Structure 1
Amino acid sequence: MKYNFDEIIDRSASHCVKIDRLKAVFGRDDLIPLWVADMDFLSPPAIAEALIERTRHGIFGYTVPDNGYYNSIIDWLRQRHSYEVRREEITFVPGVVKGIAFAIDAFTRKNDKIIIQPPVYHPFRIVPESLGREVINNPLLFDNGRYSIDFDGLRRIVAENECKILLLCSPHNPAGRVWHEDELKQLAEICYDNNILVISDEIHSDLTLPGYRHRPFATVSEKARKNSITLMAPSKTFNIAGIVSSFAVTHNPEIRKQYLGYLSPRELDQPTIHALVATEAAYREGREWLDEAIAYIQKNITFVESFLKEHIPQIKVIRPEATFLLWLDCRELHLTQKELVYLFVHKAGLALNNGTIFGKEGEGFMRLNVGTTLSTLEKALDKLRKAING
Structure 2
Amino acid sequence: MRYNFDETVNRLQTASVKWDGVEKHFGDKEILPLWVADMDFKAPDPVIEAMKKRAEHGVFGYTIRTEAYYQAIIDWFEKRHHWSIEKDWILHCPGVVTALSLLVQTYTEPGDKVLIQPPVYHPFSYVIERNDREVLNNPLKLEDGQYKMDFDDLRRKLDEHQVKLFILCNPHNPGGRVWSKEELKELGDICLEYGVLIISDEIHCDLVYAGHTHTPMMTLSEELTQHTIVCTAPSKTFNLAGLQAANIIIPSSKLRSAFRKTLAAQFIELTNTFGAVATEAAYKYGEEWLEQCLEYLQGNVDFLIHFIEERLPQLNVMKPEGTYLVWIDCRALGLSFKELEKFTRQQAKVAFNEGYIFGVEGEGFTRINVACSRSILEEGLHRLEKAIQELEMNR
Instruction: State the partner residue of 1:154.
Output: 154
Aligned partners of 1:188 and 1:221 also within 8 Å: no
Shift of 1:122: 0.2
Aligned partners of 1:188 and 1:223 also within 8 Å: no
| Count of residue correspondences | 390
Query: What amino acid does structure 2 have at the position aligned with 1:320?
Result: P
- The CA distance in 2 between the partners of 1:269 and 1:192, in whole Å, is 30
Instruction: State the partner residue of 1:187.
Output: 187
Could you list the structure 1 runs, at least 4 aligned residues long, displaced by more than 6 angstroms after superposition: none
User: Where does 1:43-62 land on structure 2 (aligned, <5 Å)?
Assistant: 43-62=43-62
User: Where does 1:246-285 land on structure 2 (aligned, <5 Å)?
Assistant: 246-285=246-285
Shift of 1:195: 1.8
Instruction: State the partner residue of 2:110.
Output: 110
- The CA distance in 1 between the partners of 2:193 and 2:267, in whole Å, is 33
- Matched residue SS, 2:206: helix
Instruction: Note the alpha carbon deviations across 1:21-66, whole angstroms, 9 max, x for none.
Output: 2223222121110000001011111111101101111111221111
Query: What amino acid does structure 2 have at the position aligned with 1:235?
Result: S
Aligned partners of 2:301 and 2:370 also within 8 Å: yes
Aligned partners of 1:175 and 1:327 also within 8 Å: yes
Query: What amino acid does structure 1 have at the position aligned with 2:387?
Result: A
- The CA distance in 1 between the partners of 2:314 and 2:144, in whole Å, is 15
Query: What amino acid does structure 2 have at the position aligned with 1:388?
Result: I
RMSD over equivalenced CA pairs, Å: 1.0
- The CA distance in 2 between the partners of 1:118 and 1:163, in whole Å, is 17
- The CA distance in 1 between the partners of 2:365 and 2:346, in whole Å, is 17
User: Where does 1:214-293 land on structure 2 (aligned, <5 Å)?
Assistant: 214-293=214-293
- The CA distance in 1 between the partners of 2:93 and 2:23, in whole Å, is 31
The alignment status of 1:349 with 2:349, answered yes or no, reads: yes
The alignment status of 1:332 with 2:346, answered yes or no, reads: no
- The CA distance in 1 between the partners of 2:379 and 2:32, in whole Å, is 9
Instruction: State the partner residue of 1:167.
Output: 167
- Matched residue SS, 1:142: strand
The alignment status of 1:130 with 2:137, answered yes or no, reads: no
My pick for the range that moved more, 189-198 or 358-367, is: 189-198
My pick for the range that moved more, 33-42 or 263-272, is: 263-272
TM-score with structure 1 setting the length: 0.98
Shift of 1:287: 0.3
Structure 2 unmatched ranges of 5 or more: 391-395
Change (3 A) 1:361 1:277: same
My pick for the range that moved more, 198-207 or 24-33, is: 24-33
My pick for the range that moved more, 191-200 or 132-141, is: 191-200
User: Where does 1:47-86 land on structure 2 (aligned, <5 Å)?
Assistant: 47-86=47-86
Shift of 1:264: 2.5
Instruction: Note the alpha carbon deviations across 1:247-301, whole angstroms, 9 max, x for none.
Output: 0011111111111121134332321211110001000110000000010000000
Instruction: State the partner residue of 1:11.
Output: 11
My pick for the range that moved more, 213-222 or 259-268, is: 259-268
Instruction: State the partner residue of 2:37.
Output: 37
Instruction: Note the alpha carbon deviations across 1:206-254, whole angstroms, 9 max, x for none.
Output: 0001111100111112232111110000000000100011000111111
- The CA distance in 1 between the partners of 2:114 and 2:170, in whole Å, is 17
Query: What amino acid does structure 2 have at the position aligned with 1:365?
Result: F
Instruction: State the partner residue of 2:139.
Output: 139
- The CA distance in 1 between the partners of 2:93 and 2:262, in whole Å, is 12
My pick for the range that moved more, 266-275 or 324-333, is: 266-275
The alignment status of 1:306 with 2:299, answered yes or no, reads: no
- The CA distance in 1 between the partners of 2:174 and 2:66, in whole Å, is 35
Shift of 1:384: 1.1
- Matched residue SS, 1:205: coil
- The CA distance in 1 between the partners of 2:96 and 2:235, in whole Å, is 10
Q: Sequence identity, in percent? A: 45
TM-score with structure 2 setting the length: 0.97
- The CA distance in 2 between the partners of 1:360 and 1:266, in whole Å, is 33
Shift of 1:321: 0.4
- The CA distance in 2 between the partners of 1:195 and 1:261, in whole Å, is 23
Instruction: Note the alpha carbon deviations across 1:68-93, whole angstroms, 9 max, x for none.
Output: 10000000000000000010011111
